[in-house]
Amino acid sequence: MPTPFSFPWEADAGDGTYRNPILHADYSDPDVIRHGDDFYLTASSFNCTPGLPILHSRDLVNWTIINHAIKNVPHPRYREVQPGCGVWAPSIRFHAGKFWIFFPMPDEGIYLTTAKDPAGQWSEPHLVQEARGWIDPCPFWDDDGQAYLVHAYSKSRAGIRDKLHVRPMAPDGSRILGEGRIVIDAPHHPCLEGPKVHKLNGWYYLLAPGGGVPTGWQVALRSRDIYGPYEEKIVLEQGSTKINGPHQGALIDLPNGDWWFLHFQDAGPFGRITHLQPVKWQDDWPLMGVDYDKNGVGEPVATSRKPAVAAASPVAVPQTSDEFDAPKLGLQWQWHANHEDSWCSLIARPGYLRLFPQPAPAEGDLGRAPNLLMQKFPARQFTVETALDFPPGRAGKTAGLIVVGGGTHASLALAHASEGTQLLFQINGETYFKTAAPAGEVRLRIAVDETAKCTFCFASPNGQFTTLEKTFQAREGGWIGAKVGLFAMDAGSGGAQTGHADFSYFRFLQEKPAEA
């Protein structure tokens, strides 16, 4: 009988309320729109592929992954892992009968992809504007048919920051039409970025995070003209709560007139996790969360009533555990860089994920291998298990379970060697445990605690688990949380890669629910 597995984190309390975070996973820089009674979310994906995840909800609390907008990052250099590069903060909109996602690649430019159905086929990314250091674009189509693109700057590429730029854009999103102007220059809000544009009651609103990712705040700016001048107000801050850096996200209206704000919180190795705040309008300013100390600035809520939507939604979370019983990879999986479909198969051995070993990185750093098949950390505390069948093969092949983040990695793997198949536990390539591999299918497990300390275990199919004494401290990477997943590698010299590794499941096991 399979080991029971469950959702590592559930936000819906089942009594008409929810707890934050609504997504306890690294959906960084989230943006959300409502289309009818449906909500769609996308997020940064950096160098991981497929990219630009598309999540769906009917109540802003319960979410599932329904698609990705891009298969690979649209530049050949992403065949190799590019930490901190690739797809940064996107914006999703519905306009003229289709869905639009504008996304930045800070070294390459601003791109656009569109779709009639967010769960269907998205267009090949179109380069709207080649540029270095333009980030976080948001489109806006005004009542008179004019279109604009608002964006921020990355200091590491453009040499400037804390500025928001409005540029005229072709209404079909194909190109920028002119220089426009910098409308916000706000060094008192350091790292001002991530702008989102709205128009309401004759006001143009720019919503933007300031103060930096770990410790910043949410700024609202408004003007009667798209080009300003703008007045400003801080509308959300950490205050007396434990929610650091509450900012950058989406302002969403409901059919009944209620408003909500969805934003992220930097949780270190657990990534940028997503929170939901009620919004009230006062004097034409959107006030977010609850004003605990009555200073006129909102603070994040830990729990709240659920949004009042048309119909109740069942409890749901983004997909995690996988029995590998479908003909293609689940949407929860991402490769560590641009990928090839030939790297895996789910039909060669039904009920198993078959990974075909790919060449190991020349520098020996497993964490830089593009063919790592990974998932986000899904909770503040969890245990994950897989079972691996790795038929004997040429020396140099390895396959197993891995955690990667921040230039560090740890793996528990089977390795083919001249003396037979070995079980190896390695941290950054250094071996801390080695023994002859158990016969048959081997179960591998990682337990992650609330500090992101990882403890590795192994067992044969019917045996007791052996816990390894050495632990591994997971770390966040470049703008991205730590990830956990599977790999198959070939460090052998010469010739085509051969052999395979079969994984029969990947399960998050039942645990006592952890608090955020």
Is the confidence at residue 516, as pLDDT, over 70?
no
CA–CA distance, 181 with 160 (Å, rounded to integer):
15
Confidence grade of residue 3 (pLDDT, cut at 50, 70, 90): very low
Contacts of 262 (CB under 8 A, 6+ apart): 22, 30, 32, 41, 60, 249, 250, 252, 274, 275, 276, 277
Q: What does the pLDDT average to over 98-116?
A: 98
User: What are the DSSP calls for 440-466, one per residue?
Assistant: SSEEEEEEE-TT-EEEEEEE-TTS--E
Q: What does the pLDDT average to over 146-163?
A: 97
CATH domain 25-305 topology = Tachylectin-2; Chain A (2.115.10)
Please tell me whether residue 88 adopts helix, strand or coil conformation: coil
Q: What does the pLDDT average to over 228-237?
A: 97
Joined together, the tokens standing for residue 484 give: 């956990």
Confidence grade of residue 497 (pLDDT, cut at 50, 70, 90): low
Stated as kind and residue range, the H or E segment containing 155 is helix 155-158
CA–CA distance, 318 with 304 (Å, rounded to integer):
21
Stated as kind and residue range, the H or E segment containing 235 is strand 231-236
Q: Where are the domains of the chain?
A: 25-305, 334-508
Let me know if 193 is a catalytic residue: yes
- Residue in 10, 12, 26, 29 annotated catalytic: 29
174-186 per-residue burial string, b: 16 or more CB within 10 A, e: under 16: eebeeebeebbeb
Q: Are 149 and 176 in contact (CB under 8 A)?
A: yes
What percent of the chain clears pLDDT 70, i.e. is strictly above it? 96
Please tell me whether residue 493 adopts helix, strand or coil conformation: coil
Q: Which residues pair with 31 in a beta bridge?
A: 42
What CATH number is given for 334-508 in this structure?
2.60.120.200
Q: What does the pLDDT average to over 422-450?
A: 96
Is the confidence at residue 363, as pLDDT, over 90?
no
Is the confidence at residue 99, as pLDDT, over 60?
yes
CA–CA distance, 92 with 106 (Å, rounded to integer):
18
Determine if residue 191 is left, alpha or beta; phi over 0 gives left, psi from -120 to 50 gives alpha, anything else beta.
left
CA–CA distance, 262 with 291 (Å, rounded to integer):
17
Mean pLDDT of the chain: 94
Please tell me whether residue 367 adopts helix, strand or coil conformation: helix
Confidence grade of residue 463 (pLDDT, cut at 50, 70, 90): confident
Confidence grade of residue 310 (pLDDT, cut at 50, 70, 90): confident
Q: Which residues pair with 259 in a beta bridge?
A: 253, 279
Q: How many helices (H) and strands (E) does the chain have?
A: 1, 38
This prediction's pTM: 0.96
437: which DSSP letter? Answer: P
Q: What is the pLDDT of residue 511?
A: 53
- What is the separation of C-alpha 225 from the centre of its chain, rounded to a whole number of angstroms? 34
How many of the other CB atoms lie within 10 Å of CB of 294? 6
Chain segment 372-423, per-residue pLDDT in tens: 999 999 999 999 999 999 999 889 999 999 999 999 999 999 999 988 999 9
Q: What does the pLDDT average to over 16-21?
A: 97
Is the confidence at residue 473, as pLDDT, over 70?
yes
Tokens 């689940």 belong to residue: 330
Is the confidence at residue 439, as pLDDT, over 90?
no
Joined together, the tokens standing for residue 71 give: 């298969």
CA–CA distance, 274 with 124 (Å, rounded to integer):
28
CA–CA distance, 334 with 476 (Å, rounded to integer):
17
Determine if residue 50 is left, alpha or beta; phi over 0 gives left, psi from -120 to 50 gives alpha, anything else beta.
beta
Q: What is the pLDDT of residue 333?
A: 98
Exposed/middle/buried for 475, CB within 10 Å: 0-12, 13-18, 19+?
middle
Residue count of the chain, please give it: 516
Let me know if 29 is a catalytic residue: yes
Chain segment 256-269, per-residue pLDDT in tens: 999 999 999 999 99
Q: pLDDT: is 60 or 478 the higher one?
A: 60
CA–CA distance, 196 with 215 (Å, rounded to integer):
20
Q: What is the pLDDT of residue 6?
A: 57
- Residue in 193, 266, 490, 502 annotated catalytic: 193
Percent helix, percent strand, percent coil in the chain, to nearest 5: 5, 45, 50
CA–CA distance, 3 with 462 (Å, rounded to integer):
12
What percent of the chain clears pLDDT 90, i.e. is strictly above it? 89
